[in-house]
């Protein structure tokens, strides 16, 4: 599972003109499931998202996590994170999990972050979404459950 985690001062997602999710301070997370991902991959990413210490403390050091700052997460499913653009000009999405496998993993990811005490808003799976955000920092972290040492 791949997740792009961006620190934001605010973020929202709109579907067909309707705002379906919005947060203030926290993380905007784009999450993509890879073919072969399991519940363990979703749990790994959830633990990392909830525990990332990238918010500044009183000394200006990246030392605080979401719960320390009362932050929230806006989680948006993004199969294009698995796009492979190494050959040609059109990315291949062959490594992206099929929607039937990806949606339960995305839902588990959201639930696991919530279970850690973090408020989570979401977009809508398999819809065209418009995402707005204000990066703070900017701080952007790429998580990949397959790149575990």
Do you know the residue count of the chain? Answer: 149
Q: From CA 55, how far away is CA 41, in angstroms rounded?
A: 24
Of 75, 63, 58, give the one whose Cα is nearest residue 6: 75
Segment 20-53, tens digit of pLDDT: 999 999 999 999 999 999 999 999 999 999 999 9
Catalytic: which of 27, 55, 78, 106? 78
- Whether residue 149 is predicted with pLDDT greater than 70 in this model: the reply is no
Q: Which pair of structure tokens corresponds to residue 104?
A: 């339960």
State the burial class of residue 131 (Cβ atoms within 10 Å of its Cβ: 0-12, 13-18, 19+): middle
Segment 64-89, tens digit of pLDDT: 999 999 999 999 999 999 999 999 99
Cα 73 to Cα 18, 33, 112, distances in angstroms: 19, 18, 12
- pLDDT for 145 equals 94
- Specify whether 27 is catalytic: no
- Specify whether 79 is catalytic: yes
Catalytic: which of 6, 79, 106, 122? 79
- Average pLDDT on 54-72 reads 96
Whether 120 and 114 have beta carbons less than 8 Å apart is answered as yes
Cα 46 to Cα 56, 89, 91, 98, distances in angstroms: 21, 33, 27, 21
Across the chain, mean pLDDT equals: 96
**What 8-state DSSP symbol labels residue 98?**
P
- Specify whether 38 is catalytic: no
Whether 71 and 27 have beta carbons less than 8 Å apart is answered as yes
% of residues, the chain, pLDDT over 70: 99
Neighbouring-strand partners of residue 23: 11
- pLDDT for 148 equals 65
Segment 1-26, tens digit of pLDDT: 999 999 999 999 999 999 999 999 99
- pLDDT for 7 equals 98
- pLDDT for 147 equals 81
- Average pLDDT on 55-65 reads 96
Whether 31 and 94 have beta carbons less than 8 Å apart is answered as no
Residue located via tokens 């050091």: 61
Whether 28 and 6 have beta carbons less than 8 Å apart is answered as yes
């Amino acid at each position: 599972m791949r997740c792009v985690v961006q620190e934001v001062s605010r973020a929202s997602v709109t579907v067909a003109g309707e705002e379906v999710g919005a947060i203030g301070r926290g993380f905007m997370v784009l999450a993509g499931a890879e073919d072969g991902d399991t519940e363990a991959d979703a749990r790994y990413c959830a633990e990392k998202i909830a525990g990332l210490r990238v918010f500044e403390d009183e000394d200006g050091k990246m030392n605080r996590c979401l719960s320390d700052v009362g932050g929230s997460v806006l989680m948006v499913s993004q199969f294009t994170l698995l796009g492979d653009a190494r050959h040609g000009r059109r990315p291949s999405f062959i490594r992206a999990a099929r929607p039937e496998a990806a949606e339960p993993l995305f839902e588990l990811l959201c639930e696991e972050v919530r279970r850690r005490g973090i408020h989570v808003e979401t977009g809508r799976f398999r819809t065209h979404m418009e995402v707005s955000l204000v990066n703070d920092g900017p701080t952007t972290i790429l998580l990949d459950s397959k790149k575990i040492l």
